[in-house]
């Protein structure tokens, strides 16, 4: 992935090393200007600003930003913890209750990034007062009381409306309570000199996604548009096959054929454009002709016939493939059949079960990365956020999508989207990144239309064209 498609995500230690590439005075000057501009953009209603700062480095940057904003005529008050209150124009933090009694925007810079050791009585009381006031709160770099590496909260905290990420993202924003409490993320760029500081992760950005879209030739026919084969569906779970196949068509595949593990009468009910028939082992070689990609798993079930069908296809197929759901259950038995460049799309439970039998030692992320590198595959760990582990590369993460996507069938829609992009000629990494983004964006659009409570998987499917329109609009 090119630099324009991703942003760096650092551990606390790596962030400190990156920060040290600038002298302190230069860093504070850059940070103050970047923060001041971001705070203005995050305050469209021009609410009075209440700055709550602590003793650490973050307090120094934010204090400088407050002074800049006051010089520009913004209404801003500065409150500091003991030891900082003697600074010019700063009032003791104990006096901030009156400032919070009317509508305002609180700027939270109480604690630095790894804040467990500095989380004392005064900080705790300040956060309690802010939480009780219900004032809108904007965090600087990381909400106070969240560990910058693990995302763990040291105290029940007020949820912030957003977090201004200064020059880089901290990994604690994407784990545990950090992901729940950080609100919308706003990036304030800084200029660092050339460096070799390695990020822990790469965050996928919306900008540049249009460059991953499949090329469309005016003279193409349906097989050139992408012919896709799927092993999906069983007597009690045909809906999964319906969702995956229709999602593949909506994503642009020219032809979708489904082999299901049910009787012939259940071949009905698919979208009119889908070719569906029961799996027959003696016919698979002919079916592969002209197919560009394969997916296996949605609604496949765990019968002996499902196992036989999966392993027969894996032994005969050598092209791009997505494996999901029940295919991952059987894959533990025959991991050697895993094709190179394959894309696996487990949720956390499926990932734990798969990796337990293959690589039981280490964290889930470490084991997923190990499997990806050892077998040259792409391991997509679905969730909020979603992670992509690639062979020999820094893991990617996508922090987009609606919580309403936590609904039955949403994973089947994702399988259809990613496999459709493979059939249209995308590489495995491109298909995983663009497919995840389209699915996340479609889920956000679905939540706008149906609410996070009322949306279902088929709503995500039907929003795929609108997701494409937004991506295409961003490229114009």
SS3 226: coil
pLDDT single digits (tens) 248-263: 999 999 999 999 998 8
**For the CA atoms of 196, 200, 201, 203, what is the dihedral angle to 10 degrees?**
-70
pLDDT single digits (tens) 360-392: 678 999 999 999 999 999 999 999 999 999 999
**For the CA atoms of 376, 426, 388, 329, what is the dihedral angle to 10 degrees?**
-70
Reference 226, options 245, 239, 242; nearest CA is 245
Residue 273: pLDDT above 60? Answer: yes
Q: Which residue has the higher pLDDT, 114 or 368?
A: 368
pLDDT single digits (tens) 424-454: 999 999 999 999 999 999 999 999 999 999 9
* Beta-bridge partner residues of 380: 388
Residue 2: pLDDT above 70? Answer: no
Strand locations in 173-317 (E):
184-188, 201-204, 227-231, 255-260, 275-278, 293-296
Per-residue pLDDT at 360 = 66
Maximum average pLDDT range among 117-126, 343-352, 357-366: 343-352
**For residues 70-78, average pLDDT:** 92
Contact 179, 151 (CB under 8 A): yes
Per-residue pLDDT at 94 = 55
Residue 89: pLDDT above 70? Answer: no
Per-residue pLDDT at 93 = 56
Per-residue pLDDT at 85 = 45
Residue 268: pLDDT above 80? Answer: no
Residue 346: pLDDT above 50? Answer: yes
| Helix, strand, coil share (%) of the chain residues, nearest 5 | 45, 15, 40
For residues 353 and 344, give the distance between their C-alpha atoms in angstroms, rounded to a whole number. Answer: 13
Rounded percentage of the chain residues whose pLDDT exceeds 70 = 92
Q: Which helix (H) or strand (E) holds 52?
A: strand 49-53
Band the pLDDT of 129: cuts 50, 70, 90.
confident
pLDDT single digits (tens) 160-203: 999 999 999 999 999 999 999 999 999 999 999 999 999 999 99
pLDDT single digits (tens) 227-238: 999 999 999 999
| Distance, CA of 255 to chain centre | 29
Sequence-distant (6+) residues with CB within 8 A of 300 are: 231, 232, 233, 234, 237, 240, 261, 306, 309, 310, 325, 326, 327
**For residues 82-91, average pLDDT:** 53
- In order of 22, 161, 370, 396, the CA distances from 18 in angstroms are 8, 27, 27, 20
For residues 393 and 149, give the distance between their C-alpha atoms in angstroms, rounded to a whole number. Answer: 20
Q: Burial level of 439, CB count in 10 A (0-12/13-18/19+)?
A: buried
Average pLDDT taken over every residue of the chain: 90
Reported residue count of the chain is 476
For residues 263 and 218, give the distance between their C-alpha atoms in angstroms, rounded to a whole number. Answer: 39
**Model confidence, pTM:** 0.92
User: Helices marked H in 326-399 — which ranges?
Assistant: 326-331, 348-356, 364-375
Residue 476: pLDDT above 50? Answer: no
């Amino acid at each position: 992935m090119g630099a324009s498609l991703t942003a760096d995500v650092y551990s606390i230690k790596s962030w400190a090393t990156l920060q040290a590439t600038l002298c302190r005075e230069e860093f504070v000057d850059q940070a103050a200007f970047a923060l001041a501009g971001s705070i203005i953009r995050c305050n469209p209603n021009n609410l009075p600003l209440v700055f709550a700062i602590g003793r650490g480095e973050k307090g120094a940057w934010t204090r400088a930003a407050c002074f800049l904003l006051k010089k520009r005529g913004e209404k801003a008050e500065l409150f500091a913890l003991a030891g900082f209150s003697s600074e010019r124009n700063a009032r003791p933090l104990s006096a901030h209750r009156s400032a919070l009694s009317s509508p305002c925007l609180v700027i939270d810079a109480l604690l630095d990034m790894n804040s467990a050791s500095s989380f004392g009585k005064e900080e705790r009381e300040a956060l309690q007062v802010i939480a009780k006031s219900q004032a809108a709160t904007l965090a600087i770099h990381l909400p106070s009381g969240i560990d910058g590496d693990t995302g763990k909260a040291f105290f029940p905290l007020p949820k912030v409306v957003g977090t201004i990420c200064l020059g880089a993202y901290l990994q604690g924003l994407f784990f545990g309570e950090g992901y729940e409490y950080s609100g919308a993320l706003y990036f304030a760029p800084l200029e660092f000199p050339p460096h070799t500081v390695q990020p822990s992760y790469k965050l996928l950005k919306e900008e540049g996604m249009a460059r991953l879209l499949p090329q469309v030739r005016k003279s193409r026919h349906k097989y050139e548009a992408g012919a896709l084969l799927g092993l999906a569906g069983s007597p009690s779970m045909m809906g999964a096959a319906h969702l995956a196949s229709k999602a593949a068509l909506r994503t642009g595949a020219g032809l979708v054929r489904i082999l299901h593990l049910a009787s012939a009468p259940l071949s009905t009910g698919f979208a009119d454009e889908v070719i569906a028939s029961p799996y027959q082992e003696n016919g698979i070689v002919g079916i592969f002709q002209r197919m560009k990609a394969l997916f296996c798993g949605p609604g496949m079930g765990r019968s002996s016939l499902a196992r036989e069908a999966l392993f027969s296809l894996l032994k005969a197929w050598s092209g791009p493939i997505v494996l999901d759901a029940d295919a991952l259950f059987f894959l533990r038995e025959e991991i050697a059949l895993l094709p190179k460049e394959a894309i696996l799309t487990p949720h956390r439970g499926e990932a734990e079960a798969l990796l337990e039998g293959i690589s039981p030692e280490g964290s889930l992320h470490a084991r997923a990365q190990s499997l990806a590198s050892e077998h040259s595959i792409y391991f997509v760990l679905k969730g909020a956020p979603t992670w992509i582990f690639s062979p020999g590369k820094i893991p990617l993460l996508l922090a987009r999508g609606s919580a309403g996507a936590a609904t039955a069938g949403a994973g089947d829609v994702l399988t259809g989207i990613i496999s459709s992009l493979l059939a249209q000629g995308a590489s495995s990494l491109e298909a995983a990144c663009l497919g995840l983004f389209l699915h996340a964006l479609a889920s956000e659009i679905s939540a706008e239309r149906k609410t996070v409570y009322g949306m279902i998987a088929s709503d995500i499917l039907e929003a795929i064209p609108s997701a494409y329109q937004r991506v295409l609009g961003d490229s114009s």
